[in-house]
Amino acid sequence: MKFEPLTRFARGFVYAYNGIRAAIREERNFRFHLCAAFYAFLAAFWAELAPVEVALVAVCVAAVLALELVNSAIERAVDKPDTTHWWTAGAAKDMAAGAVLVMALGTLVVAVCLLVPHFGTLWANFTLRPTRPAGIVLTLVIFTKFIFRSSNSTEKGKQPNGKTDS
């Protein structure tokens, strides 16, 4: 009985994990932002950014991914409105998508501001070995397949446990 609050607390992490897993499986834009995050951290590493600058990149990336999760949740919540609320549902979805776009553009500005002063270091580390440009091309191919893969294995709206959204 005394472990019940701890169990409920731990269950919250399981639910969060399931939500992130569902977003990776079903949301193309979330997969795109995950891949963009990989390149952002790779650029930060090759540019030899200071730890506080890497932390700023991490906060921006986390904010974009979190907003993408919120956007997906809003889209699911208002996906099938009744006929009297269809316009409001569409506006809510558009505003949530707009929030992701604003944060993504802000993150891009932060990345440019952080990386431009370090461009020489970034370029030198990028071209240090011929395998690095080849690795970028290879990851672009792999990530493109990952981003645009079909989610035929599970229908959108179907939960990982097989239940459907009502």
- The residues spanned by each domain of the chain are 15-147
pLDDT in tens, 6-59: 788 889 999 999 999 999 999 999 999 999 999 999 999 999 999 999 999 999
79 is in an annotated binding site: no
pLDDT 10s digits, 43-100: 999 999 999 999 999 999 999 999 999 999 999 998 876 777 777 888 999 999 999 9
Query: Rg of the chain's alpha carbons, rounded to an integer?
Result: 20
27 is in an annotated binding site: yes
**Class of domain 15-147 as given by CATH:** mainly alpha
Q: Binding site annotation covers 15?
A: yes
Please give the pLDDT value at position 111: 97
Annotated catalytic residue: which of 26, 53, 68, 155? 68
Whether 68 sits among the annotated catalytic residues: the reply is: yes
Instruction: Find out whether 132 is annotated in a ligand binding site.
Output: no
The answer to whether 22 and 160 are in contact (CB under 8 A) is yes
